[in-house]
Amino acid sequence: MNTKDIFNIFLEKYNNREFRTIGNNVQQSITLEIQNAHFEVDKPWIVREPNYGYYKREEKWYYSQSLNVNDIPEGAPKMWQACATPDGFINSNYGWCIFSKENGDQYKNCKQHLIEDPHTREAIMIYNRPSMQQEYNKNGMHDFMCCQNVQYFINEYDEYNDILDCIVNFRSNDAVFGFNNDALWANHILEKLANELRPIWNNKYDKNIAAGHIYWNAGSLHIYERHFKILTDFNTKQNVYKYYEDIEKQNNLFRKTQESINNG
């Protein structure tokens, strides 16, 4: 199962009018939803290609570890503003989640587990926390963190090469905008971790190590009604699969995409 397969499931649900209404009696919205979605991330988009310029700004904000959306370079998108307190504070700066001491030095500890034991099942970066049950709506915000955790495994590719794979677990994931930025971030961290492990692997095991696969799990992967037009446009094409492949040809695959972003 890959991103194209997931898109086709959404398209089938749309054509069959398998909608899900969410919200309360005051405010409701219609979505398409795949529960318990799981697939390999072969490229960083499902429905529409990412805004790479915005992603790079968000990545810079993540590294700042700021918990205020007003610190996002060139301004916060409406999505972030809607989640934040009136002063701009949120929970979900993913850089803060894995790099900060306040959240337990997740990146540092995960890396150390991998160094100490290449076969470990304890190399995990925990993004969310039990106190989110009370903190998601403090001071007027509404930001119940979507990413739960990411687990990393080292697997042997051949006698001389290992690969670093990861499993990403999300509570909830918007398939149009949210997934794109989340997938780019997951790939960036996977590449970063593999690059930092490589000299250790060269010296300790006389082997190379490189970033491998990203496997994605989402309790709810969804498309909001405001984006249904994208699916309608697909239906106007005589051959949906050819249209999808034509768009795909305009993009580099996942690794090349990240490389071009990093090179500016």
* DSSP conformation class of 71: G
CA distance 11 to 215: 22
Asked if residues 198 and 192 have their Cβ atoms less than 8 Å apart, the reply is no
Report DSSP letters for 232-253, one per residue.
Answer: HHHHTSS-HHHHHHHHHHTS--
Q: What angle do CA 79, 85, 86 make, to 5 degrees?
A: 100
* Residue 166 known to be catalytic: no
Q: Which of 83, 146, 147, 166 is catalytic?
A: 146
CA distance 253 to 249: 9
Asked if residues 18 and 201 have their Cβ atoms less than 8 Å apart, the reply is no
For residue 224, the SS3 value is strand
Return the C-alpha torsion angle 27, 33, 38, 40, nearest 10. Answer: -100
Give me the count of residues in the chain. Answer: 264
For residue 192, the SS3 value is helix
**Phi/psi of residue 30, nearest 5 degrees:** -105, 135
Asked if residues 184 and 229 have their Cβ atoms less than 8 Å apart, the reply is no
Neighbours of 70 (CB within 10 A): 13
CA distance 162 to 159: 8
Q: So which residues are the catalytic ones? A: 146
